[in-house]
Amino acid sequence: MDFFNYRAGRLLAEEVEVERIASEVGTPVYVYSKATLQDHLRKVHAAYQTLETTVCFSVKACGNVSILKLMAAEGSGFDIVSGGELYRVLQAGADPSKVVYAGVGKTDREIVEALDAGIGYFNIESEEELTNLIRLAKAHVASGRAKPKAALRVNPDVDYKTHVFLTTGKKETKFGVDIERAVAVFDAYADNPSVDLCALHVHLGTGGKTIDPYVEAVEKALVLVDRLREKGHRVEALDLGGGYGADYETDTVPSAAEYAAGIVPLLRGRDLKLILEPGKSICANTGILVTRVLYTKQGGSKRFVIIDAAMNDLIRPSLYDAFHFIWPVRVEPRFEPAVRSKELHIEGSETVDVVGPICEGADFLAKDRPIPHVERGDLMAVFTAGAYGFTMSSNYNARRRAAEVLVDADAFRVIRRRESYEDLVALER
């Protein structure tokens, strides 16, 4: 699952005691494990090795340049959704030809920047976006550069059975075009001299816990591929998006190999390149958020543990009612968790709300959660925080964003310093 484990009652990130990191760097702090990141990515590569596959890590999940450099060194491409993410991956030394560009609202400037960089595919979300890309690409092609490639995002109308905010493959979402409309789009634009429309993109959402929706989506996409090819259209690639589950609780989602077992047989012999866009399945368990207890208090029947991390540091529980396993960094050996689960209740635990210092009722990381007794000054770890943790953090309440640390075996280094008060106003005039 990852390389965060308890030993003699103390939490280690690989071979580094988390207490040591907190002592030297302060809290709150995001701590990432290099070994976990590499292990998860390598398992995806291995699972799909029988197909021509490009793995494009979703930058929105975890965008620190040091993390992206590790991914690029492992042969990863990147899935981006903004000009800022393009800049990040280029700073990380990414191969632009292994970059796919999604997002429903690409600006003209962002499109031109991506054209100049020579990215692999634009994932097209609407006909109007496609016509705009054609307009902007004319000068690019006229200068002697190769036609940019585009993949049409289609909605297979598959229910991913996750939080409504995390579902992107239904007809009612803002993403892509109806699968029934896709043929007409190819008929109108496939032979355009400025853009090579030659691929399909499908993305179901995020947070799913079964391979079944992916199997259904691939089956529907292949019917469309066959129909397009029968009409003479070239379809060279299928971008199967991301959204593959991560183990927020122990062993609750399929492994990369299990996803592949359902998907690979459907694509074998179909003369299609496969593009994958995993994000949280690669990096969620790669990181933890370490925080310190500021105070404890009793409010009626509730016991509150007030910590120095808040919804601005990790907004997923407030936004999605997402579960993150939370446990003290130092415990008696009998409290070492054998699994990470909502249902874990070790005798002697106390049921508490874990809350932050922000002036919002929504500022919580856990409610009614059984944990070992903690007191002021104790450290706690919020697990599976490597995805959509720091990348969604903010300066709400003029709070400084957390530091980020990368652990490599028995050593660690700061890969993003903690913001200063000066940083908070540096761009203001």
Residue 32's SS3 state is strand
337 Cα distance to chain centroid? 26
Residues 6 or more apart whose Cβ sits within 8 Å of residue 429:
none
End-to-end CA, the chain: 47
* Contact (Cβ atoms closer than 8 angstroms) between residue 287 and residue 33: yes
Token pair recorded at residue 206: 């995020």
Dihedral of CA atoms 253, 255, 256, 261 in degrees, nearest 10, equals -100
Question: Catalytic: which of 56, 62, 198, 359?
Answer: 359
From residue 3, how far is each of 17, 164, 257, 287, 288 by CA, in Å?
12, 32, 20, 10, 11
Residues 6 or more apart whose Cβ sits within 8 Å of residue 171:
155, 157, 178
Q: How many CA atoms lie within 13 A of 170 on its CB side?
A: 12
Whether 56 sits among the annotated catalytic residues: the reply is no
Task: Work out the burial of residue 231: count CB atoms within 10 Å of its CB; fewer than 13 is exposed, 13-18 middle, 19 or more buried.
Answer: exposed
Residues annotated as catalytic are 359
